[in-house]
Amino acid sequence: MEIFLKRIREERNVTQEELAEHLGVRQVHVSQMERGIRPLSFAFACEIADYLNVSLDELAGRKRPDKPEN
């Protein structure tokens, strides 16, 4: 999941510092999560997904199923 976190964060032009501030942690904590050194807890994954406006599936690198058209 860490690789997708970095890619999605960068696609949204969010810095590690901005994400860390939102999560209430230091920038090094975000860096370690992105590199897989620090496990990404479910609570942080939910908070990050909300902040970056993605689903947990997308954050985990799973393809989002096509939405049915209305």
CATH code for position 16: 1.10.260.40
pTM for this predicted structure: 0.81
Give the confidence band of 21 by pLDDT, cuts at 50, 70, 90: very high
pLDDT (average), residues 24-41: 93
Amino acid type, 64 = R
Q: How many CB atoms lie within 10 A of CB 51?
A: 15
- Residue 27 inside a domain? The answer is yes
- Residue 66 inside a domain? The answer is no
- Residue 69 inside a domain? The answer is no
CB-based burial label for 13 (10 Å; 0-12, 13-18, 19+): exposed
Share the mean pLDDT of the chain.
89
Joined tokens for residue 49: 């997904």
**By residue range, what is the domain housing residue 30?**
2-59
pLDDT (average), residues 6-33: 96
Task: Look at the chain and report how many structural domains it folds into.
Answer: 1
